[in-house]
A = this chain, B = another copy of it.
Amino acid sequence: MSGRLIKLTLEYDGTDYHGWQIQPRLTTIQGTIEKALRQLTGKPIRISGAGRTDAGVHAFGQVAHFAPPVPFDPETWVRGLNALLPGDISVQSAEEVPASFHARFSAKKKTYAYFIYNSPRRSPLRRRTAWHVFQALDLSKMRRASRLLTGHHDFTSLCAAGSETEDRIVDLEKIEIRKTDSEIKITFQAPRFLQHMVRNLVGLLVEVGRGRRAVSEISGILEGRDRRLAGPTAPPQGLFLMRIAYE
């Protein structure tokens, strides 16, 4: 082979999966794609994803790479995999990339979106793709809190307590909050995110929106560097990995 890699861009509905990462005896996104690759090529192929989405989290633009053991062209990878993958996972595109490419380490920017369905009544049609918050939320307070959270901070208070990542300093470039009817979409952009970081940010923003936490507490929460300071983790079904940008 030429030493080139294949980069896949993937969409999935994470509802019925135990997250991205392969695990023994559990159905995962990575495991399901590796199984389809083995069916397609007859060879075991290990794929490497840009990020490990949690159980129930969705993706419009997850990225993964692998070393192809057979010289299929990109369109053959797309069609072959889409014919074998279940309805809740699909390959949106495939391209050849240099051997130096790495789905995770070459990533320059990631964008996540989190959807809240904010209404006194639950919504059957959004139950798999949004967090239902029935109390009224004060968006202007949430926007003020989001401005304090944006920027270059130590995000230990917003990182899963058990995370092994040592460098907790992240440049959170953007938090944008938009509301349309009962739907609130919060978009996050950064070069990288810590484990559970987006869901923890959303949990904190919703506490502020509900009036349980004050905007003035944000600085202290960041400075305290303690996960216990920052409130609950938002549920997974509202979270979407939207895009990953490379050089």
- Contact B91 A121, beta carbon cutoff 8 Å: yes
CB closest chain-B residue, reference A58: B125
Is the CB of A179 closer than 8 A to any CB of chain B? no
- Contact A90 B129, beta carbon cutoff 8 Å: no
A129 and B127 CA atoms in complex are apart in Å by 13
* B-side contacts of A125, CB under 8 Å: 11-13, 58, 60, 129
Interface mask (A5-27 → B, CB under 8 Å = 1, otherwise 0): 00000011100000000000000
**Contact A90 B58, CB 8 Å, known A13-B127, A127-B13:** no
Copies in the complex: 2
Q: Which of A81-89, A135-143, A156-164, A222-230 contacts B (4 or more CB under 8 A)?
A: A81-89
* B-side contacts of A216, CB under 8 Å: none
Give, as a whole number of angstroms, the nearest-CB distance from A187 to chain B.
16
Give, as a whole number of angstroms, the nearest-CB distance from A215 to chain B.
32
* B-side contacts of A60, CB under 8 Å: 125
Is the CB of A78 closer than 8 A to any CB of chain B? yes
* Interface residue ranges of A83-134 to B (CB < 8 Å): 87-93, 121-125, 127, 129
Give, as a whole number of angstroms, the nearest-CB distance from A88 to chain B.
5
A interface residue numbers (CB < 8 A to B): 11-13, 58, 60, 78, 82, 87-93, 121-125, 127, 129
Besides A11-B123, A12-B125, A13-B125, 4 more A-B contacts (Cβ < 8 Å) are: A13-B124, A13-B127, A87-B127, A90-B122
